[in-house]
Structure 1
Amino acid sequence: MYQCCIFDLDGTILNTIESLSHSISLTMEHFGYGPVDEAHTKQFVGDGFKKLVERALIFSGDKELVHYEEALAVYEAVFEENCLYKVRPYEGITEFLQYLKEKGIKIAVLTNKGHERAIECVENSFGKGFFDLVTGEGHGIACKPDPSGALYTARHFNVSPSECLYFGDTNTDMQTGIHAGMDTVAVTWGFRDRKELEKFQPKYVIDHPEKIKYVFE
């Protein structure tokens, strides 16, 4: 029986694509480039904001990354102001999380989003203290797909990796769960498609949170 559920943030529990696309587009605008649409933003995210900025610059034409260092600073400032822009939980997520809490199962967030921004997004959408643990980039733990964060979460709750279920929407998430020795749940409502996720042979693939409830019955 699973004792802990670990969730990615962007594209898994919260629909943040408008916030991310808006912020990276404003960053590119600073350098005279055009906007980055949501479809491309979905492909650029998942590995932390530095990779997002790098990929967006190359996409915009700065293949030598001349503006990279400045763009990191610009993005951080822009995102601090816009991290909650049109952010909302996915359908059924809040109800599913409440269901897990009522079952006595620990719930945690593990994200490559900056730690302070992660806390802000989670608390704005679900309330302070709703999750038992939130861990983001800059918290002293290596970015996913390094398993350090997932294993740290398991240790925090004094459970084994085999007692944890890891939920995510990208290849980075699937690799994180695999590297940590945890069963993975691929969610298809996020930023990547089913085909990409199924390459990593997740334990479960779901298109709505309620589709995984039977595991806890």
Structure 2
Amino acid sequence: MYKSCIFDLDGTIINTIQSMTHSISLTMGEFGYAPIDEAHTKKFVGDGYRKLVERALLYSGDNELIHYEEALVIYEKTFQENCLYQVKAYDGMPELLKDLKAKGIKLGVLTNKGHDRAVECVESVYGKNFFDQIIGEGNGIKVKPDPAGALLMAERFSLQPSSCLYFGDTNTDMKTGRNAGMDTVGVTWGFRDRQELEAFEPKYIISHPREIQHVFE
């Protein structure tokens, strides 16, 4: 029986694609580049904002990454102002989380989004202190797929990694769970397709939050 569920943020518990698409497009616009469409933003995110900026610049034609350092500063400021832009919970996720909480399952969020923005985003949708732990990028914790954040969360819950179930929507998430010794759940409503998730052989693949509830019955 799993005693904790640890969730990725973007593309897993909250649909944040509009906020990131809007912010990276505004950033690229500062250098005269065209907006980044949603489809490409979905491909660029998942490995932290530095990789998002790098991938967006390369896609826009800055092959030497001449604007990289400046773009990082601009994106951080822009995203701070727009991180709640059109964010919303995925269908069925609030119900799943409330059910797990009622069963005494420890709930955590582990994300490559900057920690302060992660807390702000999660609390805006689910309220303050709904999750038992939120860990975002920063404070010396290596970004996913390094397992450090997942293992730290298990330690804070006083649980073995094998007692934790890790949810995510990208290959980065599947690697994170595997690297931490946790069973993984690939969710298909996020930013990547089922084929990407299947390649990493998660314990479960679900297309709606209700499909995992039987595990906790």
Q: Could you state the TM-score of these two structures normalised by the residue count of structure 1?
A: 1.00
Quote the Cα distance in structure 2 between the aligned partners of 1:115 and 1:162. Answer: 25
Cα offset, 1:139, TM superposition: 2.8
Quote the Cα distance in structure 1 between the aligned partners of 2:81 and 2:161. Answer: 36
Cα offset, 1:167, TM superposition: 0.1
Quote the Cα distance in structure 1 between the aligned partners of 2:9 and 2:25. Answer: 21
Per-residue displacement from partner, 1:114-139 (whole Å, max 9, x unpaired)?
00000000000000000000000013
**Structure-2 residue corresponding to 1:27:** 27
Give the share of equivalent positions with the same residue, in percent.
69
Alignment of 1:188-207 (within 5 A): 188-207=188-207
Per-residue displacement from partner, 1:91-123 (whole Å, max 9, x unpaired)?
000110000000000000000000000000000
Structure 1 runs not aligned, ≥5 long: none
**Structure-1 residue corresponding to 2:41:** 41
**Structure-1 residue corresponding to 2:209:** 209
Q: Which amino acid aligns with 1:22?
A: H
Quote the Cα distance in structure 2 between the aligned partners of 1:96 and 1:165. Answer: 14
Secondary structure, in 3 states, of the residue corresponding to 2:111?
strand
- How many pairs does the alignment contain? 217
The reply on whether 1:168 has 2:173 as its aligned counterpart is no
Quote the Cα distance in structure 2 between the aligned partners of 1:209 and 1:160. Answer: 24
Q: Which amino acid aligns with 2:32?
A: G
**Structure-1 residue corresponding to 2:66:** 66
Q: Could you state the TM-score of these two structures normalised by the residue count of structure 2?
A: 1.00
Quote the Cα distance in structure 2 between the aligned partners of 1:99 and 1:37. Answer: 36
Alignment of 1:4-153 (within 5 A): 4-153=4-153
Q: Which amino acid aligns with 1:216?
A: F
Cα offset, 1:140, TM superposition: 2.2
Quote the Cα distance in structure 1 between the aligned partners of 2:207 and 2:112. Answer: 23
Indicate the RMSD between aligned Cα atoms, in angstroms: 0.4
Secondary structure, in 3 states, of the residue corresponding to 1:191?
coil
Structure 2 runs not aligned, ≥5 long: none
Per-residue displacement from partner, 1:125-182 (whole Å, max 9, x unpaired)?
0000000000000132100000000000000000001000000000000000000000
